[in-house]
Amino acid sequence: MDTVKISKRLSYVLRHAPESIGITLSPDGWVQIDTLLRALAAHGHRVTRAQLDTVVADNDKQRFAVDGDRIRASQGHSVQVELGLTPVEPPELLYHGTARRNLASIYADGVHRGSRHHVHLSADAQTAHKVGSRHGAPVILVVAAAAMADDGHHFYRSANDVWLTDEVPARYLRGEA
């Protein structure tokens, strides 16, 4: 199995469907690496520890965190986990990458987390462009993050520097980057 397929499988299992291979995540999202590798193999996805370590180390978005003999997804979960994130002050502006086809809805209703725990934002337009490109013709929206924080919205920063918040109301969108 190549590293892209392994990364996608890990994202699916650790963020959305641990039960698909018969594992249970701890309340804070961790699972023993040996347990994960055995469960993947039992479901037809043989991954070695060396392959897993390569995927974790080489993932450009640092989607996974390893702590000793445990692993978890850094963010993006649709299953209930408590990542233990502490609210932090955001920069003045953050960026949200999306597909052009979503603009009318976003400008009317804001950005919502959908089935995930948080809305994901980027500190720079280039990263947001990469995110938006995954969904079609990308558009980069500028978010008035400091103004949101001043109005009581909470922001968090994951271990891989993704900015997270519960929602972005439309009034905080400042157009396209």
- The reply to whether 94-176 shares the fold of 3-73 is no
pTM confidence score: 0.69
What is the dihedral sign for C-alpha 70, 27, 156, 86?
negative
pLDDT reported for residue 59: 74
Return the CATH number of the domain spanning residue range 3-73.
Answer: 1.10.10.970
Please give the average pLDDT of every successive group of 10 residues along the chain, which has 177 residues: 89 95 94 97 95 87 88 85 88 95 93 84 92 86 98 90 94 91
CATH 3.40.630.30 fits 94-176, yes or no: no
pLDDT reported for residue 173: 97
pLDDT reported for residue 176: 87
CA 161 and chain centroid, separation: 10
Give the tokens for residue 69. 């003999």
Name the residue ranges covered by the structural domains of the chain: 3-73, 94-176
pLDDT reported for residue 144: 98
- Listed residue (140, 155, 170) closest to 92, CA to CA: 155
Give the tokens for residue 160. 């891989």
Cα of first residue to Cα of last residue in the chain, in angstroms, is 38
- Listed residue (25, 24, 21) closest to 37, CA to CA: 21
For residue 177, what are the β-bridge partners?
none
pLDDT reported for residue 74: 83
